[in-house]
Amino acid sequence: MTASTGSRKPIGVGIVGLSADGGWGSRGHVPALRAVEGYELRGLAASSARSAERAAQRYGVAAAYSDVSDLAHDENIDLVVIAVRVPRHRELILPVLEAGKAVLSEWPLATGLAEAEELALLAQRYGVRTAVGLQSRSAPAVRYLRDLIADGYVGEVLSTTLLGSGGGWGPAVGSGGAYTVDRSNGATLMTIPFGHTLDALTMCLSSFTELSATTATRRPTVRVSDTGESIPMTAEDQIAVSGRLASGAVASLHYRGGSSRATNLHWEINGTDGDLVISGNTGHLQFGQFEISGARGNDQQLSPLPVPSRYQEVDGVDGPAGVVAHAYAQLREDLHTGSSTVPGFRHAVEHHRLLDRIVRSAETGTRQ
């Protein structure tokens, strides 16, 4: 259950990118907001007045705009959510910052590091509270994993090994996701499944002090499944990273495009006193659809480690939207109390910087 908000004033939310035809805004954000006490979906902005009106009718939203600036200046809106494709983030975030409204942007924050740095600097200049959708760190299972490690379940962490599949970036792509195969659009295997999972790994363990990376595009051409067209893919579909974490542990990660008939998520954390294994059928750790098992001391076999109920702050919504709901529950407390549980644009810049180090290592063949 969500924590009671008591006499607090509800947070008025406006979503940019909520479409009557579906999409992540309707699948992820709307059910999440409905599940968390203390929010009211009061407005939206779409690409045209007609699209905005259609979406407002479908979701029962009072205010519909075709201009993000108008949404941001609506006195009933306290938080603007940017839920559109990455290449449009900057142009849509800027008017929200200028209006002085709190903003939650989907991850990746920007198409690259320089753009992310610009947005974070502007947010600081305008004094705007920001949040970024790296929701894997809000998932109950990830928070439980972090605490297991911090409480010494495995002892001192010696190494960690992670293998994952992106699902997308395989032999075919739907026309709606075709933009993700173009590396310049910023929504790639590197930034989305790998990026979300890497953020959870650094949260649970520590960040990299040094790393080496190899990347490749093994499928330079992919098929658009609903049209039969062949299009070029410039995004990486193979990412291999190894290095040393700040804790001293050695880390090795390999993400590949498409799906495997064998293993799509296997993450081991090995320590002086025990082992933890995270497994699932998707490399998108931010969806929260995985299980934890472990063994320590004299244990000879792994045993399931169910997530304790105290980590479950939100009921009534499952799957990827459930993880988003937990992020909204944490953000609600941040907005009311001034805490900083949900990462903001400054953290997004640091994570973009880590991904940029990986790209540079792969391009130059040098250790970063």
Say if residues 252 and 161 touch (Cβ distance below 8 Å).
yes
Residue 78 has pLDDT above 50, yes or no: yes
CA 168-169-174 angle, to 5 degrees, is: 60
The per-residue pLDDT for range 11-28, each reduced to its tens digit, is 999 999 998 888 888 899
Three-state DSSP state, 7: coil
The per-residue pLDDT for range 168-224, each reduced to its tens digit, is 999 999 999 999 999 999 999 999 999 999 999 999 999 999 999 999 999 999 999
Instruction: State the average pLDDT over residues 79-99.
Output: 97
Residue 32 has pLDDT above 50, yes or no: yes
Say if residues 362 and 213 touch (Cβ distance below 8 Å).
yes
CA 182 to chain centre: 19
The per-residue pLDDT for range 211-257, each reduced to its tens digit, is 999 999 999 999 999 999 999 999 999 999 999 999 999 999 999 99
Q: How far apart are CA 109 and CA 106, in angstroms?
A: 6
Residue 349 has pLDDT above 60, yes or no: yes
For residue 6, what pLDDT is reported? 59
The per-residue pLDDT for range 110-120, each reduced to its tens digit, is 999 999 999 99
Residue 2 has pLDDT above 60, yes or no: no
Identify the sign of the CA torsion 64, 70, 76, 77. positive
Tokens of 154: 């495995």
Three-state DSSP state, 200: helix
For residue 3, what pLDDT is reported? 44
Strands (E), the chain: 11-16, 39-45, 63-65, 79-82, 102-106, 130-133, 157-165, 172-173, 208-216, 221-224, 230-232, 238-245, 250-256, 265-271, 274-280, 290-296, 303-304
For residue 8, what pLDDT is reported? 87
Are β-strands 172-173 and 221-224 bridged in parallel, bridged antiparallel, or unpaired? parallel
For residue 319, what pLDDT is reported? 85
Return the residue matching tokens 């009534």.
316
Q: How far apart are CA 118 and CA 97, in angstroms?
A: 12
DSSP state letter for 153: T
For residue 20, what pLDDT is reported? 86
The per-residue pLDDT for range 259-304, each reduced to its tens digit, is 999 999 999 999 999 999 999 999 999 999 999 999 999 999 999 9
The secondary element (H helix, E strand) that includes residue 362 is helix 345-364
The per-residue pLDDT for range 121-164, each reduced to its tens digit, is 999 999 999 999 999 999 999 999 999 999 999 999 999 999 99
For residue 231, what pLDDT is reported? 97
Q: How far apart are CA 27 and CA 31, in angstroms?
A: 7
Q: What whole-number percentage of the chain has pLDDT above 90?
A: 93
Residue 7 has pLDDT above 90, yes or no: no
Q: What is the pTM of this model?
A: 0.95
Are β-strands 157-165 and 265-271 bridged in parallel, bridged antiparallel, or unpaired? antiparallel
Residue 4 has pLDDT above 60, yes or no: no
- Domains in the chain and their CATH numbers? 11-134+327-344 (3.40.50.720), 137-306+346-364 (3.30.360.10)
